[in-house]
Amino acid sequence: MDQIELKYGVNPNQERATLSIESGTLPLSILNGRAGYINILDALLGWQLVSELKAATSMASAASFKHASPAGSAVGLALSEAERAMYFVPKTYDLSEQAAAFVRARGADRLSSFGDFIALSDCCDESTARLVSMEVSDGIIAPSYEPEALALLQQKRRGSYLVIQIDPLFVPPPTEQRTLFGMTLTQSRNTVVLDERVLAPVVTERTMLPDEAKLDLLVALNTLKYTQSNSVCYAARGQAIGVGAGQQSRIHCVRLGAEKADLWHLRQSERILSLPFKEGLSRNAKDNAIDQYLRGEHVGSDGSFTTAVEPLGDDERCSIIAAVDGVSLASDAFFPFRDNIDRAHLSGVRYIVQAGGSVRDSEVIEACNEYNMVMICNAIRLFMH
How far apart, in Å, are the Cα atoms of 79 and each of 4, 89, 105, 188, 271?
A: 39, 9, 12, 39, 20
On whether the CB atoms of residues 87 and 70 are closer than 8 A, the answer is no
Rounded Cα gap, residues 69 and 42, in angstroms: 7
On whether the CB atoms of residues 46 and 118 are closer than 8 A, the answer is yes
**Opening angle at CA 26, ends 25 and 29, nearest 5:** 120
From 11, 13, 91, 385, the catalytic residue: 385
On whether the CB atoms of residues 347 and 327 are closer than 8 A, the answer is yes
From 7, 67, 214, 286, the catalytic residue: 67
Rounded Cα gap, residues 260 and 276, in angstroms: 23
Helix 250-266 with 314-322: angle, nearest 10 deg: 100
Q: Other C-beta atoms within 10 Å of 326: how many?
A: 14
33 sits in the region (left: phi over 0; alpha: psi -120 to 50; else beta) called left
From 54, 66, 156, 345, the catalytic residue: 66
At position 35, the amino acid (one-letter code) is: A
Q: Is residue 25 classed as helix, strand or coil in its secondary structure?
A: coil
Residue 66 bears catalytic tag: yes
Residue 67 bears catalytic tag: yes
At position 364, the amino acid (one-letter code) is: V
From 32, 39, 230, 378, the catalytic residue: 230
φ and ψ at residue 262, rounded to 5 degrees? -60, -45
Rounded Cα gap, residues 272 and 85, in angstroms: 10
Residue 385 bears catalytic tag: yes
Residue 347's contacts (CB-CB under 8 Å, 6 or more residues apart) are: 234, 242, 258, 261, 262, 321, 324, 327
Using alpha carbons, select from 140, 144, 132 the residue that is nearest to residue 95.
132
Q: Other C-beta atoms within 10 Å of 263: how many?
A: 20
229 sits in the region (left: phi over 0; alpha: psi -120 to 50; else beta) called beta
Verify cis geometry, omega within 30 degrees of 0, for the bond prior to 230: yes
Catalytic residues: 66-67, 230, 385
